[in-house]
Amino acid sequence: MRIGYFDCSSGISGDMILGALIDAGLKEDDLSLGLQALKIKGFKLSSKKVKRAGLVGTKVELGIKDRKKKAGFQEIDRIIKNSALDSGIKDRAGQIMERLSRAEALAHGESQKIYFGHIDSIDLILDVVGSLIGIKYLGIGEISSSPINTGSGFIDSHHGRLPVPAPATAALLEGAPIYSNGIPHELTTPTGAAIITTIADSFGHMPLMKLNVVGSGAGSLDIASQSNLLRLFIGEGDGEDKGDRLVLIEANIDDMNPQIYEYLMERLFDAGALDVYLTPIIMKKGRPGIILSILAKPDQIAVIKKIVFDETTTIGIRIKEVRREILKRSIRHVSTSFGRIRVKVIKGCTGEVRLMPEYDDLKNIARSKGIPLMRLMEEIRREIADE
């Protein structure tokens, strides 16, 4: 299977994705021809090589005749549905547009029929559909992404001065790993966030692959301290999830007030522990005890170790490297009769798909609506079974 990995260390935007795809081998003429299926008149696509902090990437420019034209979600949805695009791209593009529209509406307290914020509607359609066309043209069957650098500071929009990440961007990035390294610019746009969080099968470290090509898409800004490039690594994988390397930190405890464990676990999870669990054991001289087990990333050892020694009675811990293999999973936002919830989409080893509603979302709905949680779980599972 051909794998695509987006390195979002300088953020991500629609034009950066197009630039990375062209830099990786997508022909400009093929992309333009594919976009003609939208039946949008008066646009011209061009690309050129540019430097960003001394490194070279491809910058995509969209020449649009009627750039002032705006459209709401329904109009954009109509353009996509009435196009000559294949059904797979239509469906995925519609999903991206709906998520972006909902995020804008949520952020600004408006109807879903709103215009797409400060985004030019034609640019938006071309960026989204062009990205999907390019991924299909290059034969990328699986997509993963690094954690996403959002940038920092403020941006000016027709809504006023907004913090970075913009509210709509932040809403779209829910469930994805994000950070900022302090660069005072908007590095991740709402369009880029909507695309990557919809198409990515996973987020994290670069997967094992036999590398074929690297494409670099340039952002509009030339930032002196960092190359403003989105890199796309494309290579061949064997279709297996090789897992990741973690550490298992353990301690035997037999003389501690059990009330402390709840607080201890909260602190460990807040510090980034991936899992924390307690196992009852019988220790020497028949004393009952507990094994405290913490699964974490190697770079978290120091902070986890300090918490364990500060918050427990143990005087020694064990640390060993383990390899974790996990099923592929992603988060999808689903509308139900009880409201919008997050659903974990889990792909099994043989390709079967399981849908699991997020417990915290169900708990919040049960509390707000006064519905028994057990009944809510059953009804939500029935509703999402056909998703």
Q: Chain-wide mean pLDDT for the chain? A: 89
Closest to 176 (Cα-Cα) out of 147, 201, 154, 152: 147
244-324: which CATH architecture?
Answer: 2-Layer Sandwich (3.30)
Do 174 and 36 contact (CB within 8 A), yes or no?
no
Question: How far is 296 from 275, CA to CA, in rounded Å?
Answer: 7
Interval 232-265: pLDDT, tens: 999 998 655 455 778 999 999 999 999 999 999 9
Q: Which residues contact 275 (CB under 8 A, 6 or more apart)?
A: 293, 294, 295
Sequence spans of domains, the chain: 2-236, 244-324, 328-384
Closest to 16 (Cα-Cα) out of 214, 181, 231, 233: 231
- Confidence (pLDDT) at 326: 80
Question: How far is 121 from 124, CA to CA, in rounded Å?
Answer: 5
pLDDT bracket for residue 70 (50, 70, 90): low
Q: Could you give the percent of the chain with pLDDT greater than 70? A: 93
136-163 average pLDDT score: 91
Question: How far is 316 from 62, CA to CA, in rounded Å?
Answer: 61
Is the whole model's pTM more than 0.85, yes or no?
A: no
pLDDT bracket for residue 384 (50, 70, 90): confident
Question: How far is 81 from 366, CA to CA, in rounded Å?
Answer: 36
Helix axes 14-23, 121-137, angle to 10 degrees: 30
Asked if pLDDT for residue 375 goes beyond 80, the answer is: yes
Do 274 and 296 contact (CB within 8 A), yes or no?
yes
Interval 315-367: pLDDT, tens: 999 999 888 888 877 888 888 888 888 888 888 877 788 888 999 889 999 99
